[in-house]
Amino acid sequence: MTAQLITICIAGHGSLIGKETGKVIAVGTRVMHCRVCSNKKLSALGASKHDCRANWGGSSKGMESDLAVEMLNTKKDDTFQVSTLIGDDDSTTMAMVRQKVNHQVEKWSDVNHAKKSLGTVALS
Protein backbone atom coordinates (compact mmCIF):
# COMPACT_ATOMS: atom_id res chain seq x y z
CA MET A 1 0.00 0.00 0.00
CA THR A 2 1.31 3.37 -0.87
CA ALA A 3 0.66 6.22 1.44
CA GLN A 4 1.02 9.78 0.54
CA LEU A 5 1.91 12.42 3.04
CA ILE A 6 -0.50 15.22 2.56
CA THR A 7 0.67 18.53 3.81
CA ILE A 8 -1.93 21.10 4.54
CA CYS A 9 -0.56 24.57 4.11
CA ILE A 10 -2.45 27.03 6.15
CA ALA A 11 -1.47 30.43 4.92
CA GLY A 12 -2.98 33.80 4.23
CA HIS A 13 -1.89 36.37 1.69
CA GLY A 14 -2.76 40.01 1.54
CA SER A 15 -2.03 42.86 -0.81
CA LEU A 16 -2.75 46.54 -1.05
CA ILE A 17 -3.40 47.74 -4.59
CA GLY A 18 -3.65 51.41 -5.48
CA LYS A 19 -7.13 52.37 -6.76
CA GLU A 20 -5.88 54.89 -9.34
CA THR A 21 -2.65 53.22 -10.41
CA GLY A 22 -3.57 49.55 -10.07
CA LYS A 23 -0.06 48.98 -8.77
CA VAL A 24 0.75 46.81 -5.79
CA ILE A 25 1.65 48.96 -2.81
CA ALA A 26 2.34 46.25 -0.24
CA VAL A 27 2.12 42.51 0.18
CA GLY A 28 2.24 40.24 3.19
CA THR A 29 1.80 36.64 4.21
CA ARG A 30 0.85 34.80 7.36
CA VAL A 31 1.87 31.15 7.54
CA MET A 32 0.62 29.01 10.38
CA HIS A 33 2.38 25.74 9.68
CA CYS A 34 5.87 24.68 8.63
CA ARG A 35 6.33 21.11 7.46
CA VAL A 36 9.98 21.07 8.47
CA CYS A 37 9.36 22.37 12.00
CA SER A 38 6.57 19.90 12.61
CA ASN A 39 8.48 16.88 11.27
CA LYS A 40 10.68 15.30 13.95
CA LYS A 41 12.74 13.33 11.39
CA LEU A 42 13.64 16.48 9.48
CA SER A 43 14.41 18.31 12.70
CA ALA A 44 16.72 15.47 13.81
CA LEU A 45 18.63 15.74 10.52
CA GLY A 46 19.57 19.30 11.31
CA ALA A 47 16.78 20.97 9.49
CA SER A 48 16.29 23.31 12.40
CA LYS A 49 18.43 25.85 10.54
CA HIS A 50 16.02 26.08 7.62
CA ASP A 51 14.47 29.23 6.18
CA CYS A 52 11.29 28.92 8.21
CA ARG A 53 8.34 30.90 6.88
CA ALA A 54 5.95 30.21 9.77
CA ASN A 55 5.11 33.60 11.19
CA TRP A 56 1.62 33.30 12.60
CA GLY A 57 0.41 31.63 15.79
CA GLY A 58 -3.04 33.15 16.02
CA SER A 59 -6.36 32.22 14.48
CA SER A 60 -7.02 32.11 10.75
CA LYS A 61 -9.60 34.85 11.20
CA GLY A 62 -6.97 37.15 12.68
CA MET A 63 -4.65 36.89 9.68
CA GLU A 64 -6.53 39.44 7.55
CA SER A 65 -6.62 42.15 10.17
CA ASP A 66 -2.99 41.62 11.14
CA LEU A 67 -1.89 41.81 7.51
CA ALA A 68 -3.94 44.96 6.96
CA VAL A 69 -2.35 46.66 9.96
CA GLU A 70 1.15 45.63 8.89
CA MET A 71 0.72 46.80 5.30
CA LEU A 72 -0.91 50.10 6.28
CA ASN A 73 1.90 50.85 8.74
CA THR A 74 4.58 50.07 6.18
CA LYS A 75 6.02 53.33 4.94
CA LYS A 76 7.83 53.65 1.67
CA ASP A 77 8.69 57.23 2.55
CA ASP A 78 7.37 60.05 4.73
CA THR A 79 5.18 61.53 1.99
CA PHE A 80 3.11 58.42 1.36
CA GLN A 81 0.31 56.87 3.36
CA VAL A 82 -2.88 54.99 2.54
CA SER A 83 -5.84 57.09 3.68
CA THR A 84 -8.73 54.98 2.31
CA LEU A 85 -9.11 51.22 2.49
CA ILE A 86 -11.51 49.54 0.05
CA GLY A 87 -12.51 46.02 0.98
CA ASP A 88 -15.14 43.72 2.34
CA ASP A 89 -17.29 44.65 5.28
CA ASP A 90 -15.16 42.83 7.85
CA SER A 91 -15.62 44.87 11.00
CA THR A 92 -12.79 43.06 12.81
CA THR A 93 -10.23 44.28 10.29
CA MET A 94 -11.36 47.89 10.51
CA ALA A 95 -11.43 47.76 14.32
CA MET A 96 -7.82 46.57 14.34
CA VAL A 97 -6.84 49.15 11.72
CA ARG A 98 -8.35 51.96 13.82
CA GLN A 99 -6.53 50.70 16.93
CA LYS A 100 -3.11 49.93 15.51
CA VAL A 101 -2.49 51.99 12.39
CA ASN A 102 -0.48 55.15 13.01
CA HIS A 103 -2.67 57.40 10.85
CA GLN A 104 -6.39 57.79 10.11
CA VAL A 105 -7.82 55.37 7.54
CA GLU A 106 -11.25 55.73 5.98
CA LYS A 107 -13.20 52.58 5.03
CA TRP A 108 -15.00 52.10 1.71
CA SER A 109 -16.92 48.99 0.71
CA ASP A 110 -16.00 47.50 -2.63
CA VAL A 111 -18.74 47.38 -5.27
CA ASN A 112 -19.39 43.65 -4.99
CA HIS A 113 -19.86 43.73 -1.22
CA ALA A 114 -21.92 46.92 -1.37
CA LYS A 115 -24.30 45.32 -3.91
CA LYS A 116 -24.70 42.25 -1.72
CA SER A 117 -25.40 44.40 1.34
CA LEU A 118 -28.00 46.48 -0.53
CA GLY A 119 -29.64 43.34 -1.88
CA THR A 120 -29.86 41.85 1.57
CA VAL A 121 -31.43 45.00 2.98
CA ALA A 122 -33.87 45.30 0.06
CA LEU A 123 -35.02 41.69 0.42
CA SER A 124 -35.48 41.77 4.18
Which residues sit at the interface with Zn ion, rule CB under 5 A?
34, 36-37, 52
Least Å distance between CB 70 and Zn ion? 20
C-alpha pair distances (Å), 52 with each of 27, 34, 35: 18, 7, 9
Please enumerate in sequence order all residues whose Cβ is within 8 A of that of 106, keeping only pairs 6 or more positions apart, or say none. Answer: 83, 84, 85
Nearer to Zn ion, 45 or 52 (CB): 52
The amino acid that residue 11 corresponds to is A
Nearer to Zn ion, 56 or 69 (CB): 56
Instruction: Please state the φ and ψ torsions of residue 112, each to the nearest 5 degrees.
Output: -60, -45
Least Å distance between CB 38 and Zn ion? 8
Nearer to Zn ion, 16 or 34 (CB): 34
Least Å distance between CB 5 and Zn ion? 16
